[in-house]
Amino acid sequence: MPRNFLRIEKNLTHSYLYLHGMEWKEKSHEQKIIQQCLIPGTLPFRLIQEETETIFQYNFYPYEKIVDYFAEKPMNLKHIIALFESIHSTLLQMEEYLLSPEILGLKKEEIFFDAENNRFLFPLIPSASGNPDEEIKDLIDFIFDNIDEKDEQAILSAYLLHQKKKTETLQIKSILQLLYSQKDKASNTKEKRFNNLEKNFFGNAIEEISLNKSFENKSFENKSLKNPLPFQELDLSDYKYADYMKNIDGNATASTPDNSEFMSLSQPVEGECNIETEKGKEKEEEKKNKLLFGLKNLFKNKEKEDKLRSIDNIRYESKEQKQVKKKNSTKKELRKVLLGLILMIAFPILLYLWKGSSILHDYLPFLILIETAIFLYASLDFLALFISSKGTRTTKPS
């Protein structure tokens, strides 16, 4: 069967590409490397040999065929650059393994797209004798047919690639240079547009601010012209200081005598009233100060009493706690004494029952030492506590 007879099988767990009617040479260097190694940028390979034919199996899960993917989503400049970058990196990896570029599957039906990482993957077809130049030209036609019409740089790059395939022998490096130049142009145009937008925005804002200021200044000037302040010019050339003083003296003498007498009579009365009011205010202030002083003393005395009571309560509580601790400690010491007495009685009895009276007589000094040690252990702590507990009994303050 020819090479272009391929079959796709998809399930929930895997996706396979099958190439039927292929040739397999076990002694071939290329076929050994393809079977044993997974080269970066290529699909995992598996050989299936049947009685009638040889099948090559490629696992392309979870990727998609470019024919299916770009039928729904058109190709932009990033996709085109990623396609030729993937071809270039895969060819470099194949050179390290001494593999021929003819075995790289570059037909559009055999290429798969990794949308998550924006890269393309290819199958390695053993014993293939294709023409990579023709396959790349077919890829350029596929790009031209599935280009994104909204991306101007992608349209221009697809057109330039379409022209390039007619005139020159195709090289991946020259194609990438062309695409990178278009990418730089796109970035430059975006920057220029952004700068122009900034200039237009800020320029319009500055013009509006300047217009508003000029309008405010003009309106203020118009108001000042419409409502001028009253102003009269005085001719002071013939006016002298002596005349000014005469006018002042004349106005002072023009006052009536009744008013002057009234003012002279009212002055001492007002002074007497002021003295009486001041004395009343001083008396009220003295009363207020006395009351405040008495209140302050009361508060101070209450605070002192509260502090003394709190201190007495704390002392009484601490004494009660000490008494409780002493009672507990005396109980513990009494338990020790009782335990010591029980041991003093039980130890010789057990020895007599176990070994007899002869052993008891022989070890009598040791028994006396053990008994005294038990007695001292049980009684010394109790005696010290009993001596320290003698003292006056404390009573709670009223």
pLDDT (tens digit per residue) in 317-344: 666 777 777 777 777 777 877 887 888 7
Amino acid at 241: Y
Query: Mean pLDDT of all residues in the chain?
Result: 77
- Which pLDDT tens digit goes with each residue over 177-233? 999 998 888 777 666 665 666 556 555 655 666 666 666 665 555 555 555 545 445
Q: Could you tell me the sign of the dihedral formed by the alpha carbons of 133, 138, 142, 147, in that order?
A: positive
The confidence score (pLDDT) of residue 88 equals 95
Query: Which token pair is 15?
Result: 């996706």
Q: Which of 70, 89, 85, 24 is nearest to 50 (CA)?
A: 24
Amino acid at 151: D
> In the predicted model, is pLDDT for residue 92 greater than 90?
yes
Arithmetic mean of pLDDT, 64-79: 93
Q: Could you tell me the sign of the dihedral formed by the alpha carbons of 192, 196, 198, 199, in that order?
A: positive
Residue carrying the six token digits 């699909």: 43
pTM above 0.85, yes or no: no
Integer Cα distance of 53 and 344 in angstroms: 105
Other Cβ atoms closer than 10 A to 54: 17
CATH for 6-191, among 4.10.280, 2.60.40, 3.30.390, 1.10.510? Answer: 1.10.510
> In the predicted model, is pLDDT for residue 238 greater than 50?
yes
The confidence score (pLDDT) of residue 119 equals 95
> In the predicted model, is pLDDT for residue 41 greater than 50?
yes
The confidence score (pLDDT) of residue 372 equals 84
Of 257 and 274, which is predicted with more confidence? Answer: 274
The confidence score (pLDDT) of residue 209 equals 64
> In the predicted model, is pLDDT for residue 353 greater than 60?
yes
DSSP for 129-190 reads ---HHHHHHHHHHHHHHTB-TT-HHHHHHHHHHHHHHHHS---HHHHHHHHHHHHHHHHHHH
Arithmetic mean of pLDDT, 127-138: 86
**Is the peptide bond between 230 and the residue preceding it cis, with omega within 30 degrees of 0?**
no
Query: Which token pair is 266?
Result: 């009212």
Element (H, E) at 265: helix 257-355
Would you kindly state where each structural domain of the chain is located, as residue ranges?
6-191, 297-388
389 SS3 class: coil
The confidence score (pLDDT) of residue 255 equals 47
Total residue count of the chain as it appears in this document: 398
Range name among 58-67, 126-135, 239-248 with the lowest pLDDT average: 239-248
The confidence score (pLDDT) of residue 356 equals 78
**Is the peptide bond between 123 and the residue preceding it cis, with omega within 30 degrees of 0?**
no
Of 272 and 360, which is predicted with more confidence? Answer: 360
The confidence score (pLDDT) of residue 144 equals 92
Element (H, E) at 64: strand 64-65
Q: Which of 315, 312, 336 is nearest to 386 (CA)?
A: 336
Q: Which of 190, 4, 138, 157 is nearest to 78 (CA)?
A: 157
Of 247 and 87, which is predicted with more confidence? Answer: 87
The confidence score (pLDDT) of residue 35 equals 87
> In the predicted model, is pLDDT for residue 395 greater than 70?
no
What is the widest separation between alpha-carbon atoms in the chain?
157
C-alpha radius of gyration, the chain, whole number: 58
Q: pLDDT-derived band of residue 27, with 50, 70 and 90 as boundaries?
A: confident
10 SS3 class: strand
Element (H, E) at 9: strand 6-10
Strand 119-121 to 112-114 pairing: antiparallel
7 SS3 class: strand
> In the predicted model, is pLDDT for residue 280 greater than 80?
no
Integer Cα distance of 354 and 106 in angstroms: 104
113 SS3 class: strand
Other Cβ atoms closer than 10 A to 95: 11
Of 395 and 208, which is predicted with more confidence? Answer: 208
Q: pLDDT-derived band of residue 168, with 50, 70 and 90 as boundaries?
A: low
- Max mean pLDDT among 129-143, 329-343, 355-369, 375-389 falls in 129-143
The confidence score (pLDDT) of residue 299 equals 65
The confidence score (pLDDT) of residue 204 equals 61
Share of the chain above pLDDT 70, in %: 67
